Amino acid sequence: MPKKPTSRLGVKKRGERYQARPYIPGVGHKWAGTHDTEDEAIKAAEVKVAEHYTRPPQQETIASFAERWVRDVPRPKESTNDRYDSDAKRFAAAVDPNDKRHLHEYTVPEALRYAKKRPHDYGALRVMFSDARREGLVKENPFSELGISKGPGRKNIVTITEEELDLLIEITYDVHAKEFAPVFAGIIDFAAATTMRPSEIFGLDRTDVDLKREVVHIRRQFYKSRIQLPKNGRKRTLPYLPPRADAAVRRLPRKVPPPICSKTKDEILFYGKEGQRITAGALSGYWEKVRSTFEGTIDRERREEFRSARNPDKPRMDFYELRHFGATQMAELGVEDWVGAEMMGHTDGGKLFRDTYSHPANRVAGQRLKRAFGKNVTPIRAVDHEAEAANG
């Protein structure tokens, strides 16, 4: 059973008596009565908390299990735990807000409706109920074999061109203050050229970028406002620093005094408006100004081409699409799949790079076919040895 938390017992004096209303994480305050002495109120609060955490299996609620699940059954990667925890708690808040719905009462039809409504949570909930089944809390997993697809996601997006990337950079100087615009312009250029994940970019210190050797040491990521190991739990080295990324780093203004990371003690490479490491929330705010102006600047036909290729639930251009731009550029330059995977930090040998991230344009295929069948190519003629012998 889960470990009893050191929760607030909620004992307060009211007149001559004491009320007990302990707080249970993920559930809220629970009433434990009014008592003559403070000690009695404390004991009653402790009993109420203990009751919640020692329920018989058949009395485990959706809310209580969702609250303790990730803590009791953690996964190796912290980023996975964060996602599972938020998905589980969002699910509990929707279907068991009052902590009264028993876990074993949840049905397959309900699971199917929820999964269709929130397909991106489906995977986490399937794992959660699988763990509950192993604990003997449910007989069957209602999220098993529902056949729910997350949809194509960004698999079919249309990537921007290099000219449109240049337009994004120009817009950045128009919409952001002159002190910060060069920094965010550098971030956009660096992200598009290196295909690094945003959390990896914002975890970089200046000492991680070796301009002489043209490599980047990815030692950490800044994710959920915490310094962590990069995704997949492994440090890696970006094998090459593309020219645009190199130029972006060289153009960065040097802040005085320089922003220093309290953990690494080194100067932060890309920083926010206040000289801090950039969180996902801050990035969203910085990017929104650029994105909205960009989509209002390009012609309507191109704008609709972008939107029709995206997930209908997320029709706007995401900062993450810069990663797709870099992958597509590598594919169009003829970079092998496994090399693209090395750049992007994938461990699958190139499948994700080929199937999801790179979107080579039809015009590039046409150019290559023209080169292959062009007039400058002399066809190989079969030699008729018997005819040559007859002609001496």
Q: What is the pLDDT of residue 52?
A: 67
Q: What is the pLDDT of residue 153?
A: 62
At 53, list the tokens.
Answer: 């955490």
Confidence of residue 151 (pLDDT cuts 50, 70, 90): low
Q: What is the mean pLDDT of residues 54-62?
A: 75
Q: What is the pLDDT of residue 240?
A: 94
Q: Are 218 and 276 in contact (CB under 8 A)?
A: no
**Measured distance CA(45)–CA(49) in Å, rounded:** 6
pLDDT value at 375 more than 80: no
Q: What is the pLDDT of residue 134?
A: 87
At 15, list the tokens.
Answer: 């007149």
Residue 160's φ and ψ, nearest 5 degrees, are -70, 160
- What pTM value is reported for the model? 0.69
At 211, list the tokens.
Answer: 């301009």
pLDDT value at 7 more than 50: no
At 258, list the tokens.
Answer: 């320089």
At 254, list the tokens.
Answer: 């040097």
Residue type, 347: T
Among left, alpha and beta (phi > 0; psi -120 to 50; other), residue 5 is beta
Q: What is the mean pLDDT of residues 97-125?
A: 91
At 392, list the tokens.
Answer: 């001496």
